[in-house]
Structure 1
Amino acid sequence: MCANALAKAGVNVRIVDQRADKIPAGQADGIQPRTIEVFQSYGLADRLLKEGNHMHMAAFYNPGPNGIQLTDRVPDVTAPTARYPFEVTLHQGAIEAMFLDSMKSMGVEVSRPIVPTELSLNEDLVGDPEAYAARVVLTHLDPPKGKSATEIVHAKFVVGTDGAHSWVRKRFDIAMEGSQTEYVWGVVDMIPQTDFPDIRNKSVIHSENGTCMVIPRESDIVRLYIQLEGRDAVDASSGRIDKARMGPEKLLEVASKSFHPYTFQKPEKFDWWTIYIIGQRVASKYSVADCVFIAGDACHTHSPKAGQGMNASMNDTHNLAWKLAFVLRGWAGLSLLKTYELERRNYAQDLINFDVQWAHLFSGKHRTELNQDGISHEDFLKVFQTFGGFTSGIGIRYEESAIVNYGAQPCARNVLIGQRMPPQVLIRAADFRPFELQDLLPSNALFKLLVFTGDSTEMLEASLDPLIKKYGHALQVITIVSKRWPGFSLADIPAVLRPHWSRVFCDEKDARGTQGGDAYATFGIDPIAGAFVSVRPDGYVGMLAPLGSPGALASYFDSFMQ
């Protein structure tokens, strides 16, 4: 994700991996609605949607008189503004392949198998974004015959996305703060032979034997999460998982008891399996000297049941990449990079706080007449739906900083500053073609200035000209007028608001009258007064301003740009 985003931004990037090849199967597999939107911004969503399984419904089973029985079915995603109101499930190797192919088209390929063995910073060069302050020694695990196994790379920045046991993090003694639970879970990927009726829906099973979860996947594959007794899979002396104690056949045997009266036959093969103990930790810091950064599992670990790990990780570097690009282009100072930790560490801490509740709900015993302290279906469903905005990624909101200004929220009541820009159909003025607004916000490391002109475009040219002359290289103007046809003319729009004919849109219904026409109302923007909406390169709203306050826009960009 990081290398692809940087390559798209024109950054000279080198990516190395210890693995000799991409992941073949298993690992992370759930893509949340917001992450699908992010994939779309990089031009990758069509392939993701084609190859992946779409998960729309969630089923809940609880103890009954003869085993488990269906209690409820609800939509899997509870986020009203989600453009894609479902999850996509696909094994991590296939997701990696999308990035590998995209990077290859830009001339970037992963160097394998390579590990870093030394990483040092030149203190005299740290703080100069033009300097190559980092020195990295790479060891080639399978060097070509006659070639040295050691290579030295000098870099302006280093990003460590090297997992929960991150070498980069340990190199700089960055602590992981949090704790490890006693919850032990097994995971099995397979093509099931079963009479369980909701095998193609996300299903949560609370039984007298323990808890299981069903995640349908691409083709006919299904993933089972299976709660285990710690003594079955943990070595008592070391406290670590011992996979020799528990194979996939044993995992399926445990699951079969929880699914009674439904049955699972042994599959022809197991595509992948693993066992893990849930840990909930966040790195004490995400960067060193604004030169070395960590992302993904290197700085946060939690349970996988809410499908957040890969999503949180990819969105870390989606947040970081454009900031690195701005600094490398000389458009912003190093202070911009401090907002990476501010935004993503706060989000990770919120994620851990949520995960503590979520893991307890999954791993706790179900409430019965004999166990009144257990978890009821109502308790579980309430958290499932209450946190829908968070787990979907749609409700994530960044706090105030140089690039998030909470002022002027009344200008667009339903466009929350610090959250991603919601989807909305607009009609292009020149040819009446409908467009999804989010498709006008590609991840191209540029700001998008949405100008909702209200009932007049007069005075906007003079007020915007100074801003465009100063920062036009870093932002694209998109104009949305509220005037209705047929009185509207593209020629009436000042040049600064139509840098190209394709950049002007109307809040109008399409030719069939089925799409568009309610952007101002949906966003809570006065159709007469209008508003400025500044959208960051990662799709999040940075600030709002009244049309009569272009100085507020200038002050916003002045605060972090050079």
Structure 2
Amino acid sequence: MSAHQVAPAQESYVDVLIVGAGPAGVMCANALVGAGVNVRIIDKRPEGVLAGQADGCQPRTLEILHSYGLADQLFKEGSRVYRTTNYDQSPDGRLKRTRLSPLMPAPNARWSFGVGLSQGRIETIFETSMRAKGLTIERATVPVSLKMSEQTNDLVDAHCYVNKVSLTIAMSTSDDSMSVLEVVIERIDDPGHSEVVHAKFVLGADGAHSWVRKTLEIGAEGAMTDSVWGVIDLLPDTDFPDVRNLSYCHSSEGTLFTIPREDDLIRIYVPQSNDSQVIDPETGRADKNRSSPEKILNQARKILHPYRMNVKDNRIDWWTIYVVGQRVAERYSVNDRALIAGDACHTHSPKAGQGMNAALGDSHNLAWKLVYVLKGWAKLSLLRTYESERRNFAKDLIDFDKEWSKLFIAKRQPSNDSDALTQDEFVHMTLKFNSFVTGIGIRYFPSAIVNPQYQGLASKLIVGERVIPQTFVCAADGRPVEIQDMLPADSRFKILVFGGDIAVTGDLNALKEALIAMNLSASFIERFGHDGAVFDVLCFSSGKQQDVGYADFPMFYRSHWTKAFLDEVDMTGREGGGGYEKYGIDPHDGAVVVVRPDGHIGMIAPLSILGVEEITEYFEGFLI
């Protein structure tokens, strides 16, 4: 074929086409391929992120990654962040440490630390997991058009290929920017490549300037701020004593904060002192050509005085400047068939480390819902809860970010300005938002998949929030097991049956009564279980090891020896015990807790025939 000939477009079919291989994209792709979904993921970049971008994971994100079996590599490579320090300017003008505290007090977090690791390395962890399942990122590939069926019958049938996406290869120009050509391009390894992909669902995970969002004509609410920040990753040569902690430093010269990273690196965020000089008047965006690493460092040095901050071995891995934008997409989907996630949905400042964490949370929320719809287990309407849950979270995130960002531009006392921010006010704000920042306190509000009617039966397990960590003892062999390890992200609902003390006749009879109801043909297990693919039943007795053995559990609750547990201290006396009390569950009345595939509590019900009926009604609302 000559260089001027155009090859006929290749056509292909896929369940889900993901555009963008950033955190949201690779997270969703890995979850989908792990559940057996036919998925493709494309990205315009010829290679992954090599440096910079997002910088780590909060405690709840660590729990999520652990549920996919991906946390160990993160722990191995990353820099753990346990402590936060605050520095303020003393009356003599010198910087002085005024507070040392835990990273973000989160008493119910499984891990009381964050992990600093570059976005590129985190994406690689996902990419390695995907590759092991047979999925690779198709790089240097971009969409050039997207057309959706207008036939109502097609749109309501989740198995119809309603999205028609034209793809081309993106050519890398000499300045490493990407040129998208709506013509066939010839490459030695893939000449004349052009393709039309027919997809049931399209996910735009292609960043703040999302092509998918713009093509779908989804607007964004919010605006750019007038705050310009510089950020730099470097190997420090410094006498600043808290360089390996998350440190906030406030002086009359401004506010900066430092974050420890892998390989002895640190990241420094610092406001640009002359904002107008770094803004391109035509675009309104920060222009890197108007700044430099040395300008960012000079501003940092002014704030950190009298401490020294230099670069060791001339190692600067990455730097940039940016204008803080605070926007939320007006909607997250079109016809429930083309959706967006991550920065395509929401943009905000990076000062509380929420960007990548929010993106991963979006995909974690969405992936299992796509799986259920594609497998024919759930109604298409289930996907609407993705927008209602994650968009509400994003709006809260922007509101939080507006308040949080003010802390970094406010003047500090001592000052003649009566409006100056005090140290106590700064600390109060950090404590106020700690459950939100860590992700531990994220709560989804009542909907088809969040039913708080029987909240009182497990008063400390909040419906809509994730399950609180707690160690129980395996009834078969006595080993201690963390409950979150029993809740892998395997697309199944976990039915946690807190069966009371089965050494007590009345408690055992109530457990058996619920068992009979679960085995009826009209129950949720029989109607929606799909031969064990949808539900995983685990039983927890409040009885003691000396009184209750594995064989004392009714057979249904010990389908495998790893399914029956005791709320008891292990034989060493070091782990377990107090779970019923911690969860606010009566040790004899018990309760049934329905945990969604994303680890959030969907509902709580009585341990009775009525409870089984209530759970069945819950699943009738969205399962098929």
TM-score, length-normalised on structure 1? Answer: 0.98
8 Å CA contact 1:174–1:284 kept in 2: the answer is: yes
- Name which of structure 1's ranges 279-288 and 123-132 shifts more when overlaid on structure 2: 123-132
Give the C-alpha shift of residue 470 in structure 1: 1.8
Q: Counterpart in 1 of 2:14?
A: none
Q: CA–CA distance in 2 between the matches of 1:141 and 1:237? A: 27
1:41 to 56, 67, 76: 67
Q: Counterpart in 2 of 1:159?
A: 203
8 Å CA contact 1:210–1:228 kept in 2: the answer is: no
Give the C-alpha shift of residue 149 in structure 1: 2.7
8 Å CA contact 2:493–2:596 kept in 1: the answer is: yes
1:459 to 513, 533, 541: 513
Post-superposition CA distance 1:19-54 (Å, at most 9, x none): 111111111012000000000000011111111111
SS across alignment from 2:264: coil
SS across alignment from 2:43: coil
Q: CA–CA distance in 1 between the matches of 2:263 and 2:192? A: 44
Q: Counterpart in 2 of 1:140?
A: 169
Q: CA–CA distance in 1 between the matches of 2:401 and 2:411? A: 17
How many positions carry a matched residue from both structures?
Answer: 562
Q: Counterpart in 2 of 1:306?
A: 352
Give the C-alpha shift of residue 144 in structure 1: 4.3
| Structure 2 CA distance for partners of 1:485 and 1:266, relative to 1, 3 Å | closer
Q: CA–CA distance in 1 between the matches of 2:50 and 2:282? A: 33
| Structure 2 CA distance for partners of 1:248 and 1:431, relative to 1, 3 Å | same
Post-superposition CA distance 1:168-204 (Å, at most 9, x none): 0000111110011111100000000011111110000
Q: Counterpart in 2 of 1:264?
A: 309
Give the C-alpha shift of residue 56 in structure 1: 0.6
Q: Counterpart in 2 of 1:492?
A: 552
SS across alignment from 1:192: strand
Give the C-alpha shift of residue 145 in structure 1: 4.2
2:139 to 112, 116, 120: 112
Give the C-alpha shift of residue 366 in structure 1: 1.3
Give the C-alpha shift of residue 238 in structure 1: 4.1
SS across alignment from 2:137: coil
Which residues in structure 2 correspond to 1:233-248 (within 5 Å)? Answer: 233-248=278-293
Q: Counterpart in 2 of 1:201?
A: 245
Q: CA–CA distance in 2 between the matches of 1:369 and 1:253? A: 23
1:75 aligns with 2:102: yes
Letter in structure 2 aligned against 1:436: E
Q: CA–CA distance in 1 between the matches of 2:40 and 2:280? A: 40
Q: Counterpart in 2 of 1:338?
A: 384
Letter in structure 1 aligned against 2:342: G
Letter in structure 2 aligned against 1:9: A
Q: Counterpart in 2 of 1:440?
A: 486
Q: CA–CA distance in 1 between the matches of 2:253 and 2:307? A: 14
Q: Counterpart in 1 of 2:566?
A: 506
1:171 aligns with 2:215: yes
Post-superposition CA distance 1:256-301 (Å, at most 9, x none): 0110011112441210001001110000000000100000000100
Give the C-alpha shift of residue 538 in structure 1: 0.2
Give the C-alpha shift of residue 127 in structure 1: 1.6
Q: Counterpart in 2 of 1:57?
A: 83
SS across alignment from 1:37: helix
Give the C-alpha shift of residue 146 in structure 1: 5.6
Letter in structure 2 aligned against 1:315: G
2:589 to 523, 526, 529: 529
Which residues in structure 2 correspond to 1:245-394 (within 5 Å)? Answer: 245-267=290-312, 268-394=314-440
TM-score, length-normalised on structure 2? Answer: 0.89
8 Å CA contact 1:234–1:241 kept in 2: the answer is: yes
Letter in structure 2 aligned against 1:63: Q
Q: CA–CA distance in 1 between the matches of 2:484 and 2:265? A: 32
SS across alignment from 1:359: helix
Give the C-alpha shift of residue 487 in structure 1: 2.3
8 Å CA contact 1:534–1:541 kept in 2: the answer is: yes
Q: CA–CA distance in 2 between the matches of 1:475 and 1:435? A: 20
| Structure 2 CA distance for partners of 1:145 and 1:104, relative to 1, 3 Å | closer
Q: CA–CA distance in 2 between the matches of 1:266 and 1:101? A: 33
| Structure 2 CA distance for partners of 1:174 and 1:547, relative to 1, 3 Å | same
1:480 aligns with 2:525: no
Q: CA–CA distance in 2 between the matches of 1:525 and 1:272? A: 51
| Structure 2 CA distance for partners of 1:470 and 1:226, relative to 1, 3 Å | same
2:159 to 130, 136, 151: 130
- Name which of structure 1's ranges 429-438 and 225-234 shifts more when overlaid on structure 2: 225-234
Post-superposition CA distance 1:339-379 (Å, at most 9, x none): 00000000000000000000011122213331121211111
Give the C-alpha shift of residue 484 in structure 1: 1.1
Q: Percent identity?
A: 48
Q: Counterpart in 1 of 2:268?
A: 224
Give the C-alpha shift of residue 386 in structure 1: 1.3
Q: CA–CA distance in 1 between the matches of 2:284 and 2:619? A: 52
Give the C-alpha shift of residue 122 in structure 1: 1.2
SS across alignment from 2:368: helix
Q: Counterpart in 1 of 2:115?
A: 88
Q: CA–CA distance in 1 between the matches of 2:595 and 2:189? A: 51
SS across alignment from 2:42: coil
8 Å CA contact 1:510–1:516 kept in 2: the answer is: yes
8 Å CA contact 1:185–1:227 kept in 2: the answer is: yes
- Name which of structure 1's ranges 303-312 and 493-502 shifts more when overlaid on structure 2: 493-502
Give the C-alpha shift of residue 501 in structure 1: 1.5
Q: CA–CA distance in 2 between the matches of 1:208 and 1:136? A: 53
2:602 to 534, 537, 542: 542
8 Å CA contact 2:475–2:545 kept in 1: the answer is: no
